[in-house]
Structure 1
Amino acid sequence: MPHLPLSLVAAAVGPFYRVALHGSLPVPVARRIIDTASALQTLPRDTVVRPLTLAGRPAERITVGATVRRTAVLYLHGGGYTLGSPATHRSVAAHLARETGAVVYVLDYRLAPENPYPAALDDAVAGYLQLLTEFGFTADRVAIAGDSAGGGLALATARRLIDRHGVTPAALALIAPWVDPGRRDAPFERDLVLNTAWSHRTADAYLGGGDPTDPGFAPLLGDLSGLPCTIVHVGTGEILYPQVVELVDGLRAAGVAVDCTEYPHLWHVAHLQASLLREADDAVREIGAFLRTA
């Protein structure tokens, strides 16, 4: 499919997310809407998608082309910890597989409100460790990537792997990571994709009865030292922009090597539209180049 003009894709994305992420929409309905729309995001040529089980959860193994895979990426999807699946992120994961030459594993971690924190974190940590113990990879060859809630989860996963298991992932790729879900000081109520009513509801669902300052829930509030090299992408017009900037500053202050790209014209996780939008495809290419080097 040829790429479309940015203005045209933005004109479609905004109304879609106003419906799908409406604060009063029942979670099962929102899940169906998001999953159904994901079919519009196509896969690169020669993509191979294989279902499997990882950490006792459904997952997908995605590769592009026929080369031998010696590296891997554990991809943790966004969706406010209540939405999203391998289906919604299959296209962006496949584009990342194309750019990295790695096998990308997309984990269908447990979602809230049925399974609040720390279910998603437990699944992500177990999934990463299984790639090491049963899939033949070593930690220096396995990165973690994620977007939005999945970006926050990727950061929390790396922290727990280091602290509890003595395992440091090869790299982190964080796309507009939601690193402090309990925060209520957004600069405005809505961007093209997100709105605070929905974000607050999903944060509360994920937290359950927990402590909003728990660094497993809000990794921005935890120790940022000792993390692997990290790439961060964020749009300057996003609700999450201030906390992502705070994260990047905190990582650098902690001595972590960080590449950060800010996008004045792209919306929250526009990378999902890599099959439709050249600018989004270029952003995924930049992440892929970073991970190849790491």
Structure 2
Amino acid sequence: MSWQSALACWYMRRQFRPETLKPRINVERARALTAKRAWVPRVPKDWQLREVYGATDTPLRGEWVEPVGGARAGADAAVVLYCHGGGYYFCSPRTHRSIVFPLATRAGLPIFSLDYRLAPEHRFPAALDDAVAAYRRLIADGYAPQKIVVAGDSAGGGLALATLLALRDAGDPLPAGCLLFSPWTDLAATGASIRTNDGLDPMFSGPAIALAAKLYLGETPADHPLASPVYADLHGLPPLFILAGSTEVLLDDSRRVADKARAAGVECELEVWKKMPHVWPMFAPFIPEANRALDRAASFVRRVTSAPQHAATQPSSAMSSV
């Protein structure tokens, strides 16, 4: 564990975790704090940021990070559809530029960061409907399914996985793979790490997870498979690559999905990094472990988008601790 990571954990334990100990969630305060604290990286040389928020751009509402003058679609063009985290009720493409920008440049591919509708104004399945519609729009615009990776962190990781399930069940062609950073896959908060890592996680308290879930779920049962993919049948999905920290309260949300995916015959690699905070790649370039994690993620994206279209994959037992 680097001193930079230790410093980030110390900061989050003092500034962020106390907010998750409160008995009620103040949605507007959460949105204001994250918008204020968001570090916005400089657009890399030869890359451009293109904001898409016009009424005619629905369902691709959000931000493109793309090479200047690069091809935007076509049979050989690859792309990442990114779903930001934030408990389904706060954060935005802007707050997550610190993970999207370096992932795009490392992978050498454009990324569309989706601005999906947020709870409690728009409860389940609004975010899922937006993500599915965005994926279908990319297909309609000329991107081949086997050249698309769906990715996300935290709630956005759960949303990315749920998007694959909804597409599979609807008979849509599936993407090349799915990249998940510390995904939130169990809104019922039944994972053992909710309790065992409570106090070890520098960002979240265990009880805060179920509290946040209610904002998104409304009257929807917490074990609905498209809200909590850990309860879904995962057969037929493309390769998955999951990164999680060993002290996260959401660690078992990753472990159980990985176990279920492999049991269903899905290629799945899970890396558990020691003492890393929730979605630590967001701290690039300041934390060395964030840079290394993004290198690993970009390697996965390049591999699956350059491989022959997956037909039947064999389950992978790969799980590493870093």
1:108 aligned to 2:118? no
1:30 corresponds in structure 2 to 30
Structure 1 contact 48–63 (Cα < 8 Å) conserved: yes
2:182 counterpart (164, 176, 182): 176
Structure 1 CA distance for aligned equivalents of residues 219 and 90 of structure 2? 20
Deviations 1:149-172 (Å, cap 9, x if unpaired)? 111110000011111042211100
Alignment of 1:74-89 (within 5 A): 74-89=81-96
Structure 1 contact 175–234 (Cα < 8 Å) conserved: yes
Structure 2 CA distance for aligned equivalents of residues 187 and 237 of structure 1? 11
2:64 counterpart (36, 61, 73): 61
Deviations 1:102-143 (Å, cap 9, x if unpaired)? 11011111111111100000000001110111x321111111
1:273 aligned to 2:272? no
Structure 1 contact 64–94 (Cα < 8 Å) conserved: no
Q: How many residues of Structure 1 are paired with residues of Structure 2 in the alignment? A: 290
Structure 2 contact 59–137 (Cα < 8 Å) conserved: no
Structure 2 CA distance for aligned equivalents of residues 43 and 170 of structure 1? 29
SS at match of 1:196: coil
Alignment of 1:139-158 (within 5 A): 139-158=145-164
1:197 counterpart (199, 207, 224): 207
Structure 2 CA distance for aligned equivalents of residues 74 and 228 of structure 1? 15
Q: Report the Cα offset of residue 245 of structure 1.
A: 0.8
Q: Which runs of 5+ in 1 are unaligned?
A: none
TM-score, structure 1 normalization: 0.92
After superposition, the CA RMSD in angstroms is 1.9
**Structure 1 residues 288 and 163, CA gap change in structure 2 (3 angstroms):** same
2:218 corresponds in structure 1 to 208
Deviations 1:44-64 (Å, cap 9, x if unpaired)? 632421111454463000125
Give the fraction of aligned pairs with identical amino acids, expressed as a percent.
Answer: 33
SS at match of 1:123: helix
Structure 1 contact 44–64 (Cα < 8 Å) conserved: no
Q: Report the Cα offset of residue 265 of structure 1.
A: 2.5
Structure 1 contact 43–275 (Cα < 8 Å) conserved: no
SS at match of 1:49: strand
Specify the code of the residue in structure 2 equivalent to 1:82.
Y
**Structure 1 residues 226 and 43, CA gap change in structure 2 (3 angstroms):** farther
Structure 2 CA distance for aligned equivalents of residues 64 and 91 of structure 1? 17
Structure 1 CA distance for aligned equivalents of residues 79 and 243 of structure 2? 20
Structure 1 CA distance for aligned equivalents of residues 100 and 15 of structure 2? 21
Structure 1 CA distance for aligned equivalents of residues 110 and 131 of structure 2? 17
Deviations 1:50-94 (Å, cap 9, x if unpaired)? 111454463000125665452110100111111110111112001
SS at match of 2:297: helix
TM-score, structure 2 normalization: 0.85
1:90 corresponds in structure 2 to 97
Structure 2 contact 189–209 (Cα < 8 Å) conserved: no
Specify the code of the residue in structure 2 equivalent to 1:11.
W
Structure 2 CA distance for aligned equivalents of residues 290 and 145 of structure 1? 11
1:5 corresponds in structure 2 to 4
Deviations 1:217-239 (Å, cap 9, x if unpaired)? 11111111100011000111110
2:309 corresponds in structure 1 to none
Deviations 1:231-290 (Å, cap 9, x if unpaired)? 000111110112311111111111111121110121110011012111101101100001
1:163 corresponds in structure 2 to 169
Specify the code of the residue in structure 2 equivalent to 1:173.
L
SS at match of 1:63: strand
Larger mean CA deviation between 186-195 and 222-231 belongs to: 186-195
